Amino acid sequence: MAEDTTEEKSEAPSEKRRQDSREKGTVAKSTEVNSVMVLLTALFMMRLTGPWLIDELVAGINEFFAFGNDISMSVELCVQVLRSMIFLALRTILPIVGSILVIGVIANIIQIGFLFTLQPLTPKLEKISPLSGAKRLFSMRSLVELMKNLFKLIIIGTVAYLTIRGEYDRMLVLSDASVLVIWNFILEVAFKMILRVALVLILIAVLDYGYQRFEHEKKLKMTHQEVKEERKQMEGDPQIKSRVRALQREMARRRMMQEVPKATVVITNPTHIAIALRYEPSESEAPIVIAKGKKHSAEKIKQLANEHNVPIVEDKPLARAMYDKIEVGFEIPMEFFTAVAEIMAYVFKLKNKSAA
């Protein structure tokens, strides 16, 4: 029987996975939040600008009929009527529409922050695939959306019914009322009903936003293998990194060996450690370690020193102490000045004898 290779997504999503998902436009976002904020904004603006809006519309209608009484109806008059109607529409619609647009943008920013990406607009074959469409249609997400919409319809219908039933006694006495009174009554009841619906939708929006975050977090979860693959991509393959480090060490060792012929003296252990020192009073105040090594590297340093007539001095305690405390390219610490000075004096004395 074939082994099941499906691995459970049990690992928390990494920061990289979150960022990649955000760049693709896949974020936790509830359309219910936008809907309820837009509804409340429209309701507030209608309540705030209602009287002014009615006055503007009445004035516009009167102006339109006033133009209609002009029997000339020239082209200039038609243009003037059209311009007046356009200005009237802009004056009455823009405050409400503009407020809704601003609140819609704010609702998105509250949920996902500032985000601009064109990736969701990129054509993808799976978006038009019948099989993918069928999977989305019968998915758990579609079922949740269906249940949510049915619940909203029930809630809205119930709130509307209860609101109208509560106003039933007032409706009975409207038969003898004027058109203006009936119109004001309709507006008052509609406002009350929409406000109650909006308050219920706020609760739905909060619950839906929590569900969307839960679903988004669930989709972002990773398998153990995905975590390992991502770590490899970010940090590099361990084998490759090890190989690179080995090459870097080899290059550093070669550069170090190229400096050995310039050494003033090589201090040894004598077989396990070798340290090459260079001292030029015009270059530095103290001797500098230009190469050091153990075992094979120590043998290579000594070999190069012999080939280029660099003095080799055996001093086991000094070699061991200096090896652990000094890195290549640095001057020797003050604690080694005396011991190294004696060796340097001995080396310079040998050089003077050779020169003589």
Separation in Å, CA 69 to CA 55, 60, 75, 85, 354: 21, 15, 15, 16, 128
Together in a domain, 212 and 311? no
Together in a domain, 116 and 23? yes
Q: How many domains does the chain have?
A: 2
Residue 164: per-residue pLDDT: 86
Q: How many CB atoms lie within 10 A of CB 247?
A: 10
Asked whether residue 83 is domain-assigned, the answer is yes
Together in a domain, 208 and 305? no
Tell me which residue of 297, 275, 279, 298 sits closest to 288, measured CA to CA.
279
Tell me which residue of 256, 262, 268 sits closest to 312, measured CA to CA.
268
Together in a domain, 85 and 19? yes
| Sheet order of strands, 312-314 included | 288-294, 273-278, 265-268, 312-314
- Listed range (81-95, 100-114, 170-184) with the worst mean pLDDT: 170-184
- Mean pLDDT, range 308-319, rounded to an integer: 87
Together in a domain, 187 and 265? no
Together in a domain, 280 and 215? no
Higher-pLDDT residue of 342 and 234 is 342
Cα-trace Rg, the chain: 43
What's the domain range around 68? 15-232
| Separation between Cα atoms, residue 323 and residue 186, nearest integer Å | 95
Together in a domain, 161 and 200? yes
Mean pLDDT of the chain: 80
| Separation between Cα atoms, residue 82 and residue 252, nearest integer Å | 83
- Confidence at 93, pLDDT banded by 50, 70, 90: confident
- Confidence at 69, pLDDT banded by 50, 70, 90: low
Residue 134: per-residue pLDDT: 63
Residue 76: per-residue pLDDT: 75
> Percent of the chain having pLDDT more than 70?
85
Residue 135: per-residue pLDDT: 64
pLDDT tens, position by position, 212-229: 888 888 888 888 887 777
Residue 172: per-residue pLDDT: 78
Together in a domain, 27 and 154? yes
- Confidence at 4, pLDDT banded by 50, 70, 90: very low
- Residue 42: exposure state from Cβ atoms within 10 A (0-12, 13-18, ≥19): middle
Asked whether residue 266 is domain-assigned, the answer is yes
